[in-house]
């Protein structure tokens, strides 16, 4: 009888700043986490990801290779980042990383639970509503929601 290879969750080969908390079980490897970051349980952060200072990643979130997240961000529960859009093929690119695409999330960005982020750039000071699907770059600060995500309002200024 054949036996499967069992791979456990791991936190390995990461660069971390001060006061970083990672709740197990998580799979966090070959990435960089800035100062005061929090990573909830059941999160996967893949190779090469860079996460800025004071950023919180909530449970059940997947952050794939080629993603950069700025400072002072909040990533809600179950957020999925995508780097393979099947653009050059009729299916997944698989191991051909030359077909994968990058995402850059600016500073002070809040992404609601269960949002899906395709390869995009999101500017600073943006709120993405829960369940939204971001398919295009966001170049103007504000509130975005829907599938596909659209600008639905401006951020309110504190008085």
Domain coordinates in residue numbering, the chain = 11-85+98-153
**Tens-place pLDDT, residues 75-131:** 999 999 999 887 766 777 777 778 889 999 999 999 999 999 999 999 999 999 999
- Mean pLDDT, the chain, whole residue set: 93
Give the single-character DSSP code of 138.
B
**What is the assigned CATH class of domain 11-85+98-153?**
mainly beta
**Using H for helix, E for strand and C for coil, what is the string for 81-116?**
ECCCCCCCCCCCCCCCHHHCCCEEECCCEEECCCCE
pLDDT attached to residue 74: 98
pLDDT of 15 > 60? The answer is: yes
Confidence band of 8 (pLDDT split at 50, 70, 90): confident
pLDDT of 141 > 70? The answer is: yes
* Largest pairwise CA distance in the chain: 69
Confidence band of 9 (pLDDT split at 50, 70, 90): confident
pLDDT attached to residue 139: 98
Query: What global pTM score does this model have?
Result: 0.92
**Using H for helix, E for strand and C for coil, what is the string for 41-54?**
CCCEECCCCEECCC
């Amino acid at each position: 009888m054949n036996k499967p290879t069992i791979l456990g969750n791991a936190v390995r080969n990461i660069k971390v700043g001060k006061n970083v908390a990672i709740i197990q079980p998580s799979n966090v490897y070959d990435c960089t986490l800035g100062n005061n970051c929090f990573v909830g349980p059941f999160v996967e952060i893949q190779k090469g990801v860079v996460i800025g200072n004071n950023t919180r990643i909530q449970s059940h979130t997947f952050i794939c290779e080629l993603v950069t997240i700025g400072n002072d961000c909040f990533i809600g529960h179950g957020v999925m980042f995508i780097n393979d859009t099947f653009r050059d093929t009729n299916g997944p690119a698989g191991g051909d990383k030359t077909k994968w695409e990058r995402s850059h999330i600016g500073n002070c960005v809040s992404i609601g639970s269960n949002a899906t982020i395709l390869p995009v750039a999101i500017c600073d000071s943006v709120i993405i509503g829960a369940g939204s699907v971001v398919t295009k770059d966001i170049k103007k600060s504000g509130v975005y929601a829907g599938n596909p995500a659209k600008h639905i309002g401006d951020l309110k200024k504190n008085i």
